[in-house]
Amino acid sequence: MTQINELTIEKLQSDIAYFKTEIQKHPGFTPDLQRLFSPMISNLRKQAPDLNRNDFILALTRVIGLFEDGHSYLPPFQFYN
């Protein structure tokens, strides 16, 4: 698995775009959630080049937390130092 500090900005942006596409398939992705989700993803894309590893993971976790369903999460230990 690629370390986050080895990712290029292009790869990181591609991953964010993939995440955005896939998460919109979630059954709990409602129009109300879309209104919260869109600006958070937009901000993450803008900020990603300047975020360190931990801040990026935290920002992505906050987006996932919008679902408040208990089974949507960022798996721990998927990111390496």
Q: The pTM is what? A: 0.74
DSSP 8-state symbol, 79 = S
What pLDDT, in 10s, does the model give residues 21-37?
A: 988 898 888 999 999 99
Distances (CA, A) of 54 to 5, 25, 42: 11, 26, 19
| Helical (H) or strand (E) element with 57 | helix 53-65
| Number of DSSP helices (H) and strands (E) in the chain, helices first | 3, 0
What pLDDT, in 10s, does the model give residues 60-77?
A: 889 988 888 877 877 765
Q: What is the C-alpha to C-alpha distance for residues 31 and 8, in angstroms, rounded to an integer?
A: 32
